[in-house]
């Protein structure tokens, strides 16, 4: 298992311990892009400003994760696009 995946349970526990995210949904997806693995993590921040004001413990995780990932198609290795849940009618 890649080091990235080994780190994810501790990272999620740290986010929860800092009360930065909601319990659910939390989904980790893996795919492939241009022959390389790509991961998407789906979760909800506690509020809009949470990712802008993380404590040093979370920033340390981001620093570690950034050393494990690479940018692609002009996007940083880690990004937090804001989305909303859509329920088809």
pLDDT digits (tens, 9 = 90+) for 16-26: 999 999 988 89
Would you tell me how many other CB atoms lie within 10 Å of the CB of residue 82?
7
From the CA atom positions of the chain, what is the Rg in Å?
14
Backbone φ, ψ for residue 17 (5° rounding)? -65, -30
pLDDT digits (tens, 9 = 90+) for 25-70: 899 999 998 898 889 999 999 998 999 999 999 999 999 999 998 8
Domain ranges across the chain: 3-68
pLDDT band at 1 (very low <50, low <70, confident <90, very high): low
């Amino acid at each position: 298992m890649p080091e990235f995946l080994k780190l994810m349970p501790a990272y999620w526990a740290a986010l929860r311990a800092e009360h930065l995210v909601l319990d659910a949904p939390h989904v980790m997806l893996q795919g492939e892009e241009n022959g390389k693995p790509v991961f998407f993590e789906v979760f909800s921040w506690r509020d809009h400003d949470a990712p802008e004001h993380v404590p040093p413990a979370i920033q340390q995780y981001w620093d570690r994760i950034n050393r494990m990932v690479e940018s692609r198609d002009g996007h940083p290795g880690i990004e937090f696009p804001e989305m909303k849940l859509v329920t088809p009618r």
